[in-house]
Amino acid sequence: MPWTRSDGLLSCKLFWPLSMRGADAVSSRTQRTQLIRFALSTLDETNGHHEFERICLTLARQRITSNLIPATGPVGSGGDQGRDGESHWTNLPDEGGSAFATLASADKVVFACTIQKTGVPAKIRRDLASICGRGDAVGRVIYFTVTAVAVSKRHELQAQAREIYGVALDIWDAAAIAEHLSDPDLFQSAAEFLHLPAEQAQPGAWRMPVPDTRGAVMRPDLLDAVIDALLTDTTSVALTGLEGAGGFGKTTLAALVCQDLRVLAHFRDGLLWLTIGQQVTGAGIATVVNDLVEYLTGQRPTYSDPRLAGSHLARVIGARTCLLVLDDVWRADQLAPFLIDAPNCTRLVTTRISTVVPPEATCVRVDALTEDQAHRPVSAHGAVAGAVRAGQRNPVPPGRARRHRGCGDPMGELDA
């Protein structure tokens, strides 16, 4: 069942609507993958090695090692020594806290690529000799090719790399490259570098279901306070918290916010909703993040570390302008994976415990209904509850709704 009752309120657990499952979703991803594979196969016809280098650098930074830079050099000085890109030094892997830091490598990583279609194993061997014969010692080589490489041949080349040069060798052929480039967070880059049709590069907006608001008592002052905060906050992690005791209507208010036309117009790339709950801990947090990624991409990650799972989610969201609602959060560690990067994703949190929300968050306190509010008309249709025209404001009774910067700083309260 997608709907469960908690503290007298309806909350929505993550589930797949029929329109997001089955043949339709698979077909869309399959079509993107096939389109990319075809484009990769024609790169040699247009002398597209430079485009392939850019694709491989983008893919490697997002899926393998983030601290990579292009490797170039004048031909007279030995050129790039077979290296199309290599990692630069960083101490960020020990720091964590961002998608870049999570994927950064302290080892020396080199990537090379070729659009050559024949003699690819021999080409890989020559490039390995050049890469490992000069320059800094290398720990791992990532090799990208537009052709298919048989598993047996891949294993043979990897064994030779270990025995002769003492390096690990990963080979990404056309199938692996196309599969990853069809992911939502990478497809836009693939479309740009491979000159794919514009209509193929415009994935639809994400729209997840929200709890039913039929019968909800309208609280326009609080609704406007939350929406104002969501649309005006410009912090690096734009997050607004709804705090208050259980049963006061935080979840219902968040659902009404999600149905408001101003919110739908602003967060044009999607609206995501997750209910966390008190019992989710440890690896269970990573499971919830993995659930969301599977919903968005059709592929399920296997992370058990919440930080790694959160970094992957950040890469999937990318630069999209979207709203992520995190309902019923109890602890800061439950929230942390959802705050990694994704600079245009705004987080709306409902919680009973104000200290779980970062100090830079704008918080709106949701208290019990007043007698006047309890007698207001209720919403008859969840689909339009709280909706107003873009740019139109509901009347705000003076001093009724209050929001403030930092949930623990009542001295900073401002009238909404």
Query: pLDDT tens digits, residue range 181-204?
Result: 988 778 878 888 888 765 555 556
Q: For 8-28, how does the pLDDT look when each residue is reduced to its tens digit (9 = 90+)?
A: 333 334 433 333 333 344 346
Q: Which of 169-178, 181-190, 288-297: highest mean pLDDT?
A: 169-178
> Domain range for residue 401?
3-16+209-415
Q: Do 226 and 185 share a structural domain? A: no
Taking the C-alpha atoms of residue 140 and residue 343, their distance in angstroms, rounded to an integer, is 31
Confidence (pLDDT) at 212 = 78
- pLDDT, residue 136, reads 79
- Element of type H or E holding 324: strand 322-329
Residue 396 pLDDT greater than 70, yes or no: no
- The pLDDT, as a whole number, for residue 18 is 32
Given a cut of 50, whether residue 400 has pLDDT beyond it is no
More confident residue, 74 or 114: 114
| Claim to verify: residue 195 and residue 214 sit in the same structural domain | no
Task: Tell whether 186 and 282 lie within a shared domain.
Answer: no
**In the prediction, which pLDDT does 337 show?**
95
Tell me which residue of 64, 67, 87 sits closest to 135, measured CA to CA.
Answer: 87
Q: What is residue 407's predicted lDDT score, i.e. its pLDDT?
A: 62
Q: Is pLDDT at 111 greater than 50 in this prediction?
A: yes
Cα–chain center distance at 170: 25
Q: Domain holding 166: CATH number?
A: 3.40.1350
Q: Which of 14-23, 32-41, 262-271, 353-362 has the lowest mean pLDDT?
A: 14-23
pLDDT in tens, 366-377: 765 555 554 454
Residues 222 and 164 in one domain: no
pLDDT, residue 170, reads 95
Residue 116 has pLDDT above 90, yes or no: yes
Q: Summarize pLDDT for 213-261 with one digit per residue, the tens.
A: 777 777 788 888 888 888 886 553 334 455 556 666 788 889 889 888 8
Q: Is the per-residue pLDDT at 403 higher than 60? A: no
In degrees and rounded to multiples of 5, residue 9 shows phi and psi of -115, 150
pLDDT higher at 358 or 310: 310
User: Are 266 and 390 within one domain?
Assistant: yes
pLDDT given at position 250: 85
The predicted-structure confidence for 302-346, as pLDDT tens digits, reads as follows 999 999 999 999 999 988 899 999 999 999 999 999 999 898 999
pLDDT attached to residue 89? 77
Average pLDDT, the chain: 75
Question: Tell me, what CATH number does 305's domain have?
Answer: 3.40.50.300
Query: Do residues 225 and 282 both lie within one domain?
Result: yes
> What is the greatest pairwise CA distance in the chain?
83
**Residues 194 and 224 placed together within one structural domain of the fold:** no
**Boundary-marking domain end, from 201, 218, 245:** 201
**Which position has the token pair 């219902």?**
252
- 242 shares a domain with 190: no
Looking at residue 382, its pLDDT comes to 33
Lowest-pLDDT range of 34-43, 82-91, 176-185, 251-260: 82-91
Considering Cα of 312, then 314, then 320, then 324, what sign does the dihedral take? positive
Listed residues 159, 179, 201: the one ending a domain: 201
Indicate the residue among 167, 201, 235 that finishes a domain.
201
| Whether 222 and 346 share a structural domain | yes
Q: In percent, how much of the chain has pLDDT > 90?
A: 31
Q: Are strands 85-87 and 109-114 parallel, antiparallel or unpaired?
A: antiparallel
Q: Report H helices in 5-116.
A: 22-41, 49-63, 99-103
Mean pLDDT, rounded, for 369-388: 41
Residue 73 vs residues 70, 84, 109: alpha-carbon distances, Å: 10, 10, 18
pLDDT on residue 280: 93
How many domains, in total, are found in the chain?
A: 2
Whether the model clears a pTM of 0.75, i.e. scores above it, the answer is no
- In a shared domain, residues 245 and 357: yes
112-144 burial code (b ≥16 CB/10 A, e <16)? bbbbeeeebbebbeebbebbbeebeebebbbbb
Same domain? For 229 and 324 the reply is yes
**Exposed / middle / buried, residue 20 (Cβ in 10 Å: 0-12, 13-18, 19+):** middle
- Asked if residue 237 and residue 150 are part of one domain, the reply reads no
